[in-house]
Amino acid sequence: MAVSSLTRALGALLLSPAPSLPQIAQHPRLVCLGGNLLPACHGFSTSSNLSTNNPMWKCRIKYTTRPVGMKKTGGRDHTGRIAVHGIGGGHKQRYRMIDFQRLRYGPGSESGSYDEKVIQIRYDPCRSADIALVAGGKQKRWIIATENMQPGDILKTSRHIGRMAVSASEGDAYPLGALPVGTLINNLESHPGKGAQYIRAAGTCGVLLRKVNGTAIVQLPSKRHMQVLETCMATVGRVSNIDHNKRIIGKAGRNRWLGRRPHSGLWHRKGGWAGRKIKPLPPMKSYVSLPTAAARA
């Protein structure tokens, strides 16, 4: 069966204007079934579901701040075979839907800059960083928390790029063109409007190195350089939970609680992959698509 995308009914239900995924007719009931029949009104003495058997738990259309029950994969993919070894077991987790697209306007609201207030910062079992519940206007959403975020802070999100660089405070989100060179950033997009996919782990931060006519060059935590359009949004500051890499697991059981199964005990002769390598940096990765020769001509 072809991959049926659920775009037909998405239009009115998404937070942001629907992306340009192709319109394919699909079973409208599948839309409603993403995630335990989308209970709108819980019974009076129930909490959110802890886990679910529903294999489509992550195909929810409507955004919610309530945690969603997850179904563990055990490293298996849709064929049933192990695709990734060493995953399985571990404490039950509930997925909190994180909004990585920081610049998200509500339906019909004005464009420009807007403020949001941090309500609560909590631990997220699905990632190393902490997450923050922020509220702005009429909506609440979860975002990745930065290092010194406290409940009650006001965060600013803007997409305006002025001639002068903005003196950004931690937690604010601006396009790269508006930030001064040398700021520490996190939650970086590769394309404008795509949503943050880089620099999201605990304690990481990238550095804005330079801005070159319409593009910006960022150094990622792996020291690789990345060139993106200057309208891509990024959040200022380091990601929260900075002592994450200093923690000591202590025992094998704690790894099992985290869902990591032991390595295979079979002796392998190490090949060319093992050992420390000292290489020059890979070339700069550019996500800026230059106009083709045909368009230029």
Partner 1 sequence: MAGLWWPARPAAGALRAWAPRGPHRGKTAQVPRRPLPRTPWTTRGPPPGAPLPRSWQDKRPVQEQIPGLEQVTYAGKQYFVPWLARPRLPRWERGWHDPRHSPGPRYEAMPLYKERVCYVCHQRTKMLEGVRQALWLTKTKLMEGLPPKVLSIIDEPANQLENEDERVQNAISHARVWITTELIPKRESYCPVLLEDLLHLCRTMASKYPSLSKRMLARDYKVAAAWERESSILQVRGMNGILLNAINPLLPVASKDEILATENHVLETFHPISPTIDLQEVNVYEERHDTGFREGYPYPHPHTLYFVESANVRPVRFRPEQLRAKMLMFAFGNALAKAKILYGDDPKVLEHPVVVQSIGTEGRIFQFMVFQLNTTDLASSDGVKNLVWIDSDQYMYDYIRYLPGIRKKVVKFPPGIYGYRPDTFKKFLALYLHGAVQDSTQTQIL
Positions in the binding site for partner 1 (CB under 8 A): 1-6, 10, 14, 16-22, 24, 26, 28-30, 32-34, 37, 41-42, 44-50, 53-56, 58-61, 76, 78-80, 97, 114-117, 119, 135-140, 154, 189, 191-195, 197
Q: Please say which residue, 53 or 167, places its beta carbon nearer to partner 1.
A: 53
Residue 252: CB minimum distance to partner 1, A? 26
Residues 146 and 118: their CA atoms lie apart, in Å, by 11
Q: Is 235 exposed, middle or buried (0-12, 13-18, 19+ CB in 10 A)?
A: buried
Of 29, 10, 28, 32, which Cα lies nearest the Cα of 19? Answer: 10
Q: Is 218 exposed, middle or buried (0-12, 13-18, 19+ CB in 10 A)?
A: buried
| Torsion angle, alpha carbons of 262, 265, 270, 274, to 10 | 20
Residues 245 and 221: their CA atoms lie apart, in Å, by 14
Which of the 8 DSSP states describes residue 98? B
Q: Please say which residue, 79 or 250, places its beta carbon nearer to partner 1.
A: 79
Q: Please say which residue, 45 or 167, places its beta carbon nearer to partner 1.
A: 45
The token pair at 165 is 């660089």
Angle at 286 between CA 282 and CA 287, to 5 degrees: 140
Q: Please say which residue, 24 or 281, places its beta carbon nearer to partner 1.
A: 24
Residue 27: CB minimum distance to partner 1, A? 8
Residues 19 and 22: their CA atoms lie apart, in Å, by 9
Residue 118 · residue 155 · CB < 8 Å: yes
Q: Please say which residue, 164 or 294, places its beta carbon nearer to partner 1.
A: 294
Provide the CA 271 distance to its chain's centre, in angstroms. 34
Q: Please say which residue, 68 or 184, places its beta carbon nearer to partner 1.
A: 68
Q: Please say which residue, 18 or 281, places its beta carbon nearer to partner 1.
A: 18
Residue 204: CB minimum distance to partner 1, A? 19
Residue 188: CB minimum distance to partner 1, A? 13
Residue 129: CB minimum distance to partner 1, A? 18
Residue 243: CB minimum distance to partner 1, A? 29
Q: Please say which residue, 10 or 121, places its beta carbon nearer to partner 1.
A: 10
- For 207-213, the CB contacts below 8 A with 24+ separation are 207/182, 207/183, 208/176, 208/179, 208/180, 208/181, 208/182, 208/183, 208/234, 209/181, 210/181, 211/176, 211/177, 211/181
Contacts of 244 (CB under 8 A, 6+ apart): 128, 129, 201, 202, 203
Residue 219: CB minimum distance to partner 1, A? 22
Residue 195: CB minimum distance to partner 1, A? 7
